[in-house]
Amino acid sequence: MKRPAQSVHRILVITVLMLAPLTGAGAADTATPLERPNIVFILADDLGYGDVGCYGCTDIQTPVLDQLATEGVRFTDFYANAAVCSPTRIAFLTGRYQQRLGLDNALYYQEMGRGLPTDGETIADDLRSAGYTTGISGKWHVGYDRQRQPHQQGFDHFFGLLGGNHHYFDHMDRIGVPDLWLDNAPIKREGYSTDLITEDAITFIESHHEAPFFLYLSHAAPHFPYQAPGDRDKPVKPKTKSWQQGDRETYVAMVERMDDGIGKVLATLDALDLRQKTLVVFTSDNGGSTWSRNAPLRGEKSTIWEGGVRVPCLARWPGVLPEGQVTSQVGITMDWTATFRRLAGVANDDAGEDGMDLLPVLTGQEPNQTRTLFWRRKKGPVRKNVEEGLAVRKGKWKLIKQATGERYLFDLQSDIGETQNLIDQHPDLAANLDAELVAWEERVEAQ
């Protein structure tokens, strides 16, 4: 059930003043009576771990994201909650393992009856109860039913697509159904989807900057169909192979256009004097797919190898987060849910939260925390061609159990590419991690 609205009494300026000595000369500039920061959470779709300049990419120009890393914190060991999109997005919106909600796989086109609980509670509900105006610009993909749509799940504003992908110019999904929405109504609008999403995000910020706001900037890019900004006349048709055909050149153009749009959003924050009043987070919903670069990781989207679940992640909050820091703290999508809730003064009720507040570690108040994280891939009611399996990471160790019976144990600290299976060298460790997986499955299945 949805939690009742909570009054917020914690004044963030106390935290900021306590942290000022840790964050450099610019920290003094944040000593203003700010109760809660604005929050901009930017989620790319199918972006590879190595597809950003600051993660080693050389053929994609991402100056905005690279500058974000220079001005904030870059994670080396950050993970998506799942190897595909819908489960990760549900985990972010609820702050819980998606398996607790019965979603191990992505929703199919126009699939009804699955997704977010109709009587659940999202991060948007929580932040709105704490006085935030809430908006999503971009992709939803966690429920087609009316009660599972953004307006009914805590968002004051929604512009974008309900499904997993759509034509970047004609705005219809892969089976030909129009999929562009403003709040609860389908609309028609000319333009390239990435640009339209950027424009809507800017309008939302400009319209709601006088009070705390939460913007979920959920890009469709660089998910297929592979269409660059100049591909208006490229033949991409529903229900045909053309929907998923592309090349690296097109993918590069899509990522670069997204980077440019993010730059415009950040410039809007600067123009409104909101830079130091806003926490900006960027990450991806899962590993990269066909034309992506996941190097130096093994695997890709839809697998529980590192390439399917480890993703880029950047965070900037001038004066609070240190500049130019690289952190090896292990994190996962739903950690940002817990972090945002704490910043807004929403209490942790334990039973409804699986993530960790990252801010104490990122600001140096606490040392890096050893984490134990879990992943599971299963077939869905429509999507049957799935490589099923389970994985757990505890500290530097990762155990993978494939449904076909293969088992793998890796030391990710020395073998990020998962090349050396150590299952025979460490049978007791493998057995202990296996037991933790069994116990985790029992916990999430119980709910």
pLDDT digits (tens, 9 = 90+) for 335-391: 999 999 999 999 887 667 999 999 999 999 999 999 999 999 998 787 777 889 999
Burial class (CB in 10 A: 0-12, 13-18, 19+), 25: exposed
**Structure confidence by residue, pLDDT tens digits, 312-341:** 999 999 999 999 999 999 999 999 999 999
The one-letter amino acid at 358: L
3-state SS class at 284: strand
**Element holding 222 (H helix, E strand):** none
Two tokens, residue 97: 């393992």
**φ/ψ bin of 393: left (φ > 0), alpha (ψ from -120 to 50), beta (otherwise):** beta
Instruction: Tell me the longest C-alpha to C-alpha distance in the chain.
Output: 60
**Structure confidence by residue, pLDDT tens digits, 227-285:** 999 999 999 999 999 999 999 999 999 999 999 999 999 999 999 999 999 999 999 99
222 contacts 251 by C-beta, under 8 angstroms = yes
Q: Which residue, 108, 157, 100, 148, is CA-closest to 128?
A: 157
CATH number of the domain enclosing 394: 3.30.1120.10
> Tokens 């994190």 correspond to what residue?
331
Q: Which residue, 262, 244, 245, 98, is CA-closest to 165?
A: 244
Catalytic residue from among 9, 54, 57, 85: 85
**pLDDT the model gives residue 128:** 97
> Tokens 């389970």 correspond to what residue?
390
**Structure confidence by residue, pLDDT tens digits, 71-123:** 999 999 999 999 999 999 999 999 999 999 999 999 999 999 999 999 889 99
Catalytic residue from among 141, 166, 167, 171: 141
**pLDDT the model gives residue 12:** 40
**pLDDT the model gives residue 232:** 97
* Same domain flag for 366 and 395: no
* Same domain flag for 279 and 420: no
Q: Is residue 104 part of a domain?
A: yes
Contact residues for 295 (Cβ-Cβ < 8 A; gap 6+): 48, 49, 50, 56
Residue 85 designated active-site: yes
* Same domain flag for 367 and 418: no
State yes or no: pLDDT of 1 exceeds 60. Answer: no
Q: For residues 423 and 398, what is the distance between their CA atoms, to the nearest angstrom?
A: 10
* Same domain flag for 367 and 436: no
Residues of the chain above pLDDT 90, percent:
87
CATH number of the domain enclosing 216: 3.40.720.10
Q: What is the CA radius of gyration of the chain?
A: 21
* Same domain flag for 137 and 275: yes
What letter does residue 370 receive in the DSSP assignment?
P
Burial class (CB in 10 A: 0-12, 13-18, 19+), 442: exposed
Q: How many domains does the chain have?
A: 2
User: Parallel, antiparallel, or unpaired: how do β-strands 325-327 and 157-161 relate?
Assistant: unpaired
**Structure confidence by residue, pLDDT tens digits, 40-76:** 999 999 999 999 999 999 999 999 999 999 999 999 9
* Same domain flag for 412 and 278: no
Label residues 43-53 b or e (16+ Cβ within 10 Å = b).
Answer: bbbbbbbbbbb
Two tokens, residue 285: 């919903």
Q: Give the residue numbers spanning the domain of 97.
A: 12-371
